[in-house]
Structure 1
């Protein structure tokens, strides 16, 4: 396999206006995407201060991803019709304002409601960013801008735990977890000022909004049917009822999407996307990777603090190698793509699954005195794997989005990842919390959760392999520009 086909195209440069728009989008993405990873470090302190039950914690963490994902599609559609600037500003203002409510909450239910509103605001912001980058940039510059947005998300995910640990170490547990929410406020206000000044003015549109509200409601109901059994275990009869309900909702969603498309509407999930095997399999890969990674990060943080007795700062230091490795791998991934093409995703996903498996085994068998050091070393593999495959997979998935669905393909991909995160976080945190509460011990609980995460990541490896095979049969809409370097990669 060759490293590249033909001569390397000249690298285009962003003009001054383009750089300002990109700055706003990157700042908005970092502010809203780092929120959840910072919170992970604060969960033990938050639980103690608010006397939160396991179900509360699951909703506090998973509710954000759920609302985030469900807001992406209607937010994107409204931005298409009414213009993106003021929806971006409104979403970011909501996110920033509700961060104050989260920081001052004295009851778990208030914090749950605030997290749902924060997630909705973040989803509205990110849907406008994706659309803005597609509106403002073309060709190579668009690919580079979307690549930078993806890398920003990866870095926010990695840097959150160290930042949260530093805040809790400096301010103490009770004040510290509140300050992790207040961190959003100065970043949000600064980004708001930049957005009002530099985002393009709204463009008038002549077509009417077509939001497929029933499709959105069915997706939300299906997600809740998958989440709720893990939040409140219902017994065997209840599990059967939830499974039957989920299957019925899935059938109703498929039937409605087909009917809505036949009547000339724009369904939530564009039929052309489901017909593209590389797009569907690549999205499945992203869902399994994002859900398993976020759940593994949360459970690791709880194990380090509750199981090993580390301080928030100590837990953050264990996670720090992941941030460093992810940043390095994200910056160098384009070189690997030049040599290995689509296999880069499979290799990165395999490394991630292996890291999760080894985490659980070491936590179960290694002596407590050396365990934090061993887990920190494994974070190098975990971070490098995610950095290698995260934005690379996005590039290949969007590359295979059919032309008639290019505008919604990115929003569908993000929505799928966020819904997967909501289900995975609620499920895995529930497994860990219930096993420890039942006397099983923190090591056994972490082993169980890690094995489940590794199994989900293993499914992502299989999906990536099949996506690679399908991509060789199905021509791409366009060749991807490798991350932020602007060089064409081949399969």
Structure 2
């Protein structure tokens, strides 16, 4: 049963879940169709890289500005506008006749997806409270995670059934009917727009600096610099922009104006550590999925359909374990995230061992088993971690808090996809099996870092003392005694 005190709240959650599934399925479904898309368009390697990674880049750039605008001016209109632009840009990308058209459409579509998802997090924070808020955020994370996991199987089925020339175009159109449904439901069921931020003045300089810093950080990982000197220049640019942004935010706060990043977010250890956990887990998951897809098709010569079938157990396991995760949280608390990360580490290491020692005939079944284990771990880690992180975002910064979390994940995706795929491709010329084993070990290392960070924040997240920014998620009785709304909402 969906959380919420009434039917209206549950309808809002359905709209949010639909939006998350629609925007994240669109990105995940395309990866497996990249070879056929490249051949059909006559695109170069750089063109394909921008088509795939440009979506994440624009997605990440739009999250914090979108969250801030939603906090200031209300979320419904921005949500509807974002879904509409996402739909139109998706149709333009699917019908594009050349690489340039597809790249431009994907950039616009990514920005629209970022605008939508920043409103989703803020809307859930606005509508749900106490235990219901935790369950609603968990279901949103579950839906998004399952959509991401289902992308490769669906993409493989479309390419296999429709052929390489038409298959990749239908992959891009797959999200269109879901976007139409989301648009209709949002217009009917989302609550009227209302402002949650205390200060109605936007921070345009802060927005510009945040976007510039994000862009400078992500672009080198999407398009690798040609020399070490160029890489150092990009790194210096990131440091400079980050420093200016920090100074500007503090100066704005001293003048009595609301900064872009709420002080409660910067000073919250659980929020910062939880965001870092999400980055490592998200980046590792996407990189592992991409490297497995490339290894199965290029290294082992398997078809797109068989590759999709091998990836399917991950989606199934993630859906089941995510649905059960809140029950596990009730029993062992924050250690649920640790358990999920440990399962993910075991899956990555098992895949590495299988690639090195099993005969080719046994690898598909072995990888299906490791995908099952990986999906189960993801389901236990993703939604409980996101819920714990967003408990520490105050009501007046709910949109920005969710936007920063998702932006951090997008940055991690760009970095990890580039770094791990480079590890695989650099080593694959000698032995694809050894290259995949090495890449899997890198992914396991990322999850190990996430595990350490998760354990470091445990004293704060497992505390039974409630705070205004962290409502106690104990039982349904608490919802009748605890009001975690902002002063303006009261």
Q: What TM-score do you get using the length of structure 1 for normalisation?
A: 0.88
Alpha-carbon distance in 2 for matches of 1:206, 1:228: 31
**CA 1:481 to 1:78, structure 2 compared with 1: closer, same or farther past 3 Å?**
same
Q: What TM-score do you get using the length of structure 2 for normalisation?
A: 0.89
* Mapping for residues 81-230 of structure 1, pairs under 5 Å: 81-203=72-194, 209-230=200-221
**CA 1:79 to 1:403, structure 2 compared with 1: closer, same or farther past 3 Å?**
closer
Alpha-carbon distance in 2 for matches of 1:88, 1:174: 33
Shift of 1:322: 0.6
What do the CA deviations read for 1:342-393 (whole angstroms, capped 9, x no partner)? Answer: 1111121122133223323432443222112111110111000000011011
- Aligned mate of 2:305, from 313, 319, 344: 313
Shift of 1:430: 4.0
SS at match of 2:170: helix
**CA 1:388 to 1:75, structure 2 compared with 1: closer, same or farther past 3 Å?**
same
Shift of 1:487: 8.9
Alpha-carbon distance in 2 for matches of 1:75, 1:400: 19
Is the 1:400–1:476 contact (alpha carbons within 8 Å) kept by the matching residues of 2? Answer: no
* Mapping for residues 256-275 of structure 1, pairs under 5 Å: 256-275=248-267
| Equivalent in the alignment of 1:449 | 439
Shift of 1:146: 2.1
| Equivalent in the alignment of 2:12 | 21
* Mapping for residues 395-434 of structure 1, pairs under 5 Å: 395-401=387-393, 405-406=397-398, 408-433=400-425
72-81 or 226-235, which deviates more: 226-235
Q: Any unmatched runs of 5+ in structure 1? A: 1-10
Alpha-carbon distance in 2 for matches of 1:272, 1:474: 19
Is the 1:395–1:480 contact (alpha carbons within 8 Å) kept by the matching residues of 2? Answer: no
Alpha-carbon distance in 1 for matches of 2:432, 2:389: 38
What do the CA deviations read for 1:301-326 (whole angstroms, capped 9, x no partner)? Answer: 12211221111111111111111111
Alpha-carbon distance in 2 for matches of 1:279, 1:397: 5
- 1:285 aligned onto 2:277: yes
Is the 1:360–1:451 contact (alpha carbons within 8 Å) kept by the matching residues of 2? Answer: yes
Is the 2:135–2:326 contact (alpha carbons within 8 Å) kept by the matching residues of 1? Answer: no
Alpha-carbon distance in 2 for matches of 1:130, 1:395: 11
Shift of 1:93: 0.7
Is the 2:28–2:148 contact (alpha carbons within 8 Å) kept by the matching residues of 1? Answer: yes
**CA 1:433 to 1:94, structure 2 compared with 1: closer, same or farther past 3 Å?**
farther
- Counting matched residue pairs gives 476
Alpha-carbon distance in 2 for matches of 1:206, 1:285: 27
Shift of 1:283: 0.8
Alpha-carbon distance in 2 for matches of 1:131, 1:447: 40
Is the 1:81–1:208 contact (alpha carbons within 8 Å) kept by the matching residues of 2? Answer: yes
Shift of 1:266: 2.7
Alpha-carbon distance in 2 for matches of 1:178, 1:403: 41
Alpha-carbon distance in 1 for matches of 2:189, 2:123: 12
Alpha-carbon distance in 2 for matches of 1:365, 1:36: 33
| Equivalent in the alignment of 1:71 | 62
Q: Any unmatched runs of 5+ in structure 2? A: 479-490
**CA 1:444 to 1:108, structure 2 compared with 1: closer, same or farther past 3 Å?**
farther
CA RMSD across the alignment: 2.8
Is the 2:71–2:399 contact (alpha carbons within 8 Å) kept by the matching residues of 1? Answer: no
| Equivalent in the alignment of 1:334 | 326
104-113 or 452-461, which deviates more: 104-113
